[in-house]
Structure 1
Amino acid sequence: MKYCAIASGSNGNCYYIADGEDAVLVDVGINTKHVELRMANLGISPTSVKAIFITHEHTDHIRGLSVFCKRYQIPVYTTAGTYQGSRLHLPNHLVNIILPNAKIQVGRLSVYGIPKYHDAKEPCSFVVSNGAVNIGVLTDLGRACANVQHVIQHADVLVLEANYDEDMLEQGRYSFFLKNRIRSGWGHISNRVSLETFLEYRTDRLRHLILSHLSGENNSVDLVHGTFAPHCNTIKLSIATRYQETELFDIRDLGEPYLKESACVPTETNRIVADR
C-alpha cells in the first residue's frame, strides 16, 4: 500500500491511500488546482482515484470537493448529516450516503467509517485496509473516544491529529469562544492528549505515525516533533504540514513483510479492521 498527506491543517485536508490500482481520497479540503499540483509532485494521477470519503462538512475538508469529483467523475461517500451540512449540490450519480460506521469496498480496499466526537452534523473518521494493512486517518477529534482507541490498537499506519499546544492556545489571540470550542471535547485534541492516547493504545504492529492537522496559530512542527520523537524510536515518525504534501510512502519500506492476509474483527460500534 502507498499513502500520503496531500494537505493537512486548518487551511485544508486531503489524504491519499492506494493498493495497486485501487486508490481513495479522504477529504478534499484544498482547491482542485492545488490537489492536482501536489499529486503531480508525487507522480499520482487524479484519474487513479476510485472514491472520495468525506469526514465532515467543515470547509477545510470539502473546499475542493465539488470541482474535483465532477471533473474526474469520482463517487463521493458521505453521511447524510455531512452532505446536508455541506450545502453542496453534487450530481446525484456521484453521491453515496453512508452510515457513520459503514464498511465500503473499493476494489481491494475496505474503508471503515469510525464515528467520532466533533462539532459537525454526522462526522466520522476512516480506516482503509487491504486485509493485511490498516491505515487509520484520525483527525478533528473532540476527544480520544473508544473508537479512536480501537483504531490505534489495530493500526499499522496512523494519521493522528496533534492540533494545538495548550499553552499557546491559552495565551494566543483567539477569542474566548473559539478557544473553548477547540478544547471543549467537540473540537480538536492537543499535543498532550494526542501523545497520551498514542502511548496508551499503540501496539507493536504500528510502524508509522504521521501527525496531522497542526494549527497554524497554536502549534509548530518543531514543538510536535520534540513532543513525540522521544517515544518513536522503533517506528517511523512524520509530520504533515499545511504548506506542502508529504512524500508518497510505501508500506514495503517500513521493514515489515505484511504478506499474510487476515480477517476483520468487530468493535462495539464498527466492524473493524484487519487483525494479524
Structure 2
Amino acid sequence: MSAKVPPEVTGVWRREEITAPGGYRDDTTRVFWVQADSWYGDVRLKIDIPRRAGATSFADFSDAELIELAKAQGFAGLLTVTPAMCAWRRDLDYQPPGPIPDEGTWRIEGDILIEGGIHADYEEIWRLEPQSHGLRAAFGLGDGQGLLVIAGDHFLMMRARKTPLPEGESLPALVGAALAAGRRNEAFALLDMPISYGRIGQGWRVVHSTLPWLEGRPLWTRPPLFDEAAGHLLDGGSTPWTLLERHDPGQELPGLFALATVAGSSL
C-alpha cells in the first residue's frame, strides 16, 4: 500500500494561474487535479480547444484542429508528498514522457496551494474546489490501462491508448507528422486517450475531456455495477476496475454509481 498524502492536499484543485520568468503567465487553461489519498489524476485543456457541434469522432475535425487537440495535457498516478516537495508519478501520460521528474515545492494558505518549480522556475496557484472533500477513492483498470479518481462530488477518469506513444518531442509533432504523411487513422490512434473530468451529482456528467464530443454527456455508456465485496467496478468491459483505495466514512461509494445516467439519455 502506498503512503497517503497529507489530508490537506486531498480534494480537487483548480489551477488559477501559472507564471514563469520572462513575463510568462497563463490563467485561461482549464486545469483540474483530482487527489485521493495517494492516487491522482490531472487534465489540462486550452480554453479554445476545437469543438464541433455534432462531432462524434476525430474524423469530424480538420488536420489543423487535430494538431490543436494534441496540445492537451493530462497524467495520472501516485503522488508522494514530503514537507519539502510533491512528486507526481506519471503512470499514464497524454504526452510523450519527458526527461525531467514532475516535482515541486508546496505550501497551503487556506484554500490556496502554491506550487513552486524544482527543476524549472515557475509558480502555480491552485484553489480548492467546493464539494471536493469527504469521500475519496481510486480504481485501476487492468495493468495500468486506466485510472478513475473520485474526490467528493468530482471525478477524473483516464484510459490508456491501445498502443504506447512512439518517441517524439511532443504529441502535436507526432500527430502533425502522421497527418503530413496522409495517415489520418494513425493520427486518430495517437489522440485516442480519453481523459474526462466531471461531476458525480450531475449524473456523472463530463465537463472537460480530451475527446470534446464527450463534454456535456454522461461518463458511462451503460450503468456500472459496484461489487463491494470483491472491490470491483463493472462497466461492461471485459476487465473490471479494481478498487485501489477508499476513504469513505459515510459509506457513500456504492450509492454514487446509482446516480449514473447513460450516454444518450437526457440529464
- Structure 2 length normalisation: TM-score? 0.28
Higher helix share: 1
* Greater share of strand: 2
TM-score (norm 1): 0.28
Larger Rg: 2
